[in-house]
């Protein structure tokens, strides 16, 4: 088994690329299994709530809210914990808990019981992202982090294509409960794939502080993560942009099924088709971006927001009876923008953060996302109820478009030069 020290010290491993690393291959396979299962599950839950239980937009908006509450409460502490333990073991525990809680959804009689169960399941999963990013930072060489981010993002987008399409096909043959069982099985598969990596990571044997990090108080490490983030122009500008942009996007992110119910009543499969188109656009974008050696935050985040916002606004202008090709084309455009944003954000946070603090920084990101998801979906649900789903989509899309344009034009003032030099300088200052 190659540890992070092996990756750093052996130049042959570095030259051979990330696919020569068995730890990365196992991580990639585990992430693929979990992502595929999650999308299968998400489509089933949306169909169950919107079409079969007939929930209104406000109740639909409560789903992402309850799923975000654990991130708001636990996000930063999850990041600090991910820097102290062996990350693969933490990810395995998350997978097992998520599998068990997913199976419990089968016995839920209505949305009143579904909401608290989804909240508990989200709490089990909130530790997964910082642990995964921390482990990636340890087993992947510095110059290959963009590739790793792109490949991991490609998994998400590919799952967004395959999961909804297969989910829609499964829903035509069986009940949503069958899709939920598949998600539980995929989570168990992810746990099994991570088993060989259980000795990597954590504070034992890590070259970035080693035993001194173990002696630090948990809250001290949490404060250090926030202090580092606030002192970094690169990271702070990135998270502020994400905060503003995602606040607008998450107002309607879980309302696509409501919009499609308006455009094509009774066609449950349309949700799967649109999400698959978004995933296809994101996957294609990531296949291109993984060939790059570096990506600028201004170009990636600003350009991504431009495409996402334009696509959402276009959806808001559509009328019942719209053709499927036009709907899917807009979905692909949104997916390309989403792929640009996801890779750029992850790559910027990875390269701008020392390995010993990656978990804490991504934990803070979880907290930021938790704050957004607790408030934005409810505002969006109320707005859709009062103004109509098309009107809400159009104005939110226009807002995101203008935000992306501003970020693109003002990129040098917000992020300075590409950010790579600044990130390297900050890592040196911490050593």
Kindly state the average pLDDT of the residues 12-16.
45
User: Residue 22 — very low, low, confident or very high, per pLDDT cuts 50/70/90?
Assistant: confident
Domain positions in the chain = 15-430
> Cα separation of 307 and 338, whole Å?
8
Structure pTM? 0.62
* C-alpha closest to that of 258 among 382, 167, 342: 382
Q: Are 352 and 234 in contact (CB under 8 A)?
A: yes
Kindly state the average pLDDT of the residues 44-72.
75
DSSP at 418: -
- The token pair at 25 is 């291959």
pLDDT at 338 over 90: no
* C-alpha closest to that of 170 among 272, 31, 23: 272
Kindly state the average pLDDT of the residues 126-140.
77
Q: What is the pLDDT of residue 333?
A: 92
On whether the 15-430 domain is CATH 1.20.1250.20, my answer is: yes
Q: What is the pLDDT of residue 154?
A: 64
Q: What is the pLDDT of residue 42?
A: 75
Summary count for the chain: helices (H), strands (E): 21, 0
Burial grade of 148 (CB within 10 A; 0-12, 13-18, 19 or more):
buried
> Cα separation of 17 and 47, whole Å?
41
Output the average pLDDT for the chain. 76
- Higher per-residue confidence, 176 vs 15: 176
DSSP at 298: I
Q: Are 46 and 180 in contact (CB under 8 A)?
A: no
Length of the chain equals 431
Q: Each residue of 73-82: pLDDT tens digit?
A: 776 677 677 7
Q: What is the pLDDT of residue 130?
A: 76
DSSP string, 119-150: HHHHHHHTTHHHHHHHHHHHHS-GGGHHHHHH
Q: What is the pLDDT of residue 313?
A: 93
> Cα separation of 228 and 207, whole Å?
19
- Higher per-residue confidence, 314 vs 151: 314
Tell me which of 241-250, 303-312, 350-359 is least confident.
350-359
Q: What is the pLDDT of residue 306?
A: 92
Query: How far is Cα of residue 288 from the mean position of the Cα atoms in its chain?
Result: 19
Kindly state the average pLDDT of the residues 20-33.
84
Q: Each residue of 280-310: pLDDT tens digit?
A: 887 788 778 777 767 788 888 888 899 999 9
Kindly state the average pLDDT of the residues 360-385.
78
Kindly state the average pLDDT of the residues 78-101.
83
Residue 5 CB: number of other CB atoms within 10 A?
12
> Cα separation of 390 and 316, whole Å?
4
pLDDT at 402 over 90: yes
For the chain, give the percent of residues with pLDDT over 90. 8
pLDDT at 431 over 60: no
pLDDT at 414 over 60: yes
Q: Are 198 and 92 in contact (CB under 8 A)?
A: yes
Burial grade of 319 (CB within 10 A; 0-12, 13-18, 19 or more):
exposed
H or E element that contains 20: none
Kindly state the average pLDDT of the residues 408-414.
81
- The token pair at 48 is 């169950």
- The token pair at 213 is 């990090």
Q: What is the pLDDT of residue 163?
A: 59
> Cα separation of 425 and 17, whole Å?
25
Q: Are 358 and 130 in contact (CB under 8 A)?
A: yes
* C-alpha closest to that of 36 among 276, 243, 254: 276
> Cα separation of 161 and 397, whole Å?
22
Kindly state the average pLDDT of the residues 367-371.
75
Start-to-end Cα distance in the chain: 27
């Amino acid at each position: 088994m190659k540890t992070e020290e092996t990756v750093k010290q052996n130049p042959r491993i570095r030259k051979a690329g990330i696919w020569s690393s068995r730890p990365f291959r196992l991580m990639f396979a585990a992430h693929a299994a979990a992502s595929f299962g999650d999308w299968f599950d998400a489509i089933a839950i949306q169909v169950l709530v919107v079409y079969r239980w007939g929930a209104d937009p406000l109740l639909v908006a409560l789903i992402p809210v309850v799923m975000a509450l654990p991130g708001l409460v636990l996000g930063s502490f999850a990041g600090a914990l991910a820097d102290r333990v062996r990350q693969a073991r933490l990810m395995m525990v998350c997978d097992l808990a998520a599998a068990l809680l997913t199976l419990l959804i089968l016995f839920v009689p209505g949305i009143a019981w579904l909401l608290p169960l989804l909240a508990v399941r989200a709490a089990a999963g909130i530790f997964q992202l910082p642990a995964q990013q921390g482990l990636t930072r340890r087993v992947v060489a510095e110059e290959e982090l963009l590739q790793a981010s792109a490949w991991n993002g490609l998994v998400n987008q590919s799952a967004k294509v395959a999961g909804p399409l297969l989910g829609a096909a499964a829903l035509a043959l069986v009940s949503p409960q069958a899709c939920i069982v598949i998600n539980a099985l995929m989570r168990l598969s992810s746990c099994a794939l991570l088993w060989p990596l259980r000795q990597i990571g954590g504070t034992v044997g890590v070259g970035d502080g080693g035993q001194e990090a173990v002696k630090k108080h948990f809250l001290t490490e949490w404060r250090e993560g926030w202090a580092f983030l606030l002192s970094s122009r690169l990271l702070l500008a990135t998270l502020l942009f994400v905060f503003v942009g995602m606040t607008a996007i998450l107002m309607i992110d879980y309302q696509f099924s409501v919009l499609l119910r308006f455009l094509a009543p009774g066609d449950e499969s349309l949700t799967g088709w649109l999400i698959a188109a978004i995933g296809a656009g994101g996957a294609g974008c990531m296949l291109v971006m993984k060939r790059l050696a570096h990506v600028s935050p201004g170009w990636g985040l600003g350009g991504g927001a431009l495409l996402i916002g334009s696509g959402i606004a276009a959806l808001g202008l559509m009328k019942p009876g719209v053709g499927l090709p036009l709907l899917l084309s807009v979905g692909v455009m949104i997916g390309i923008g989403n792929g640009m944003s996801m890779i750029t954000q992850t790559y910027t946070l990875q390269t701008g953060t020392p390995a010993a603090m990656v978990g804490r920084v991504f934990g803070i990101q979880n907290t930021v996302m938790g704050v957004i998801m607790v408030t934005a979906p409810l505002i969006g649900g109320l707005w859709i109820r009062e103004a109509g789903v098309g009107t809400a989509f159009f104005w939110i899309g226009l807002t995101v478009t203008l935000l992306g344009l501003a970020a693109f034009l003002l990129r040098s003032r917000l992020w300075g030069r590409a950010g790579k030099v600044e990130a390297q300088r900050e890592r040196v200052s911490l050593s």
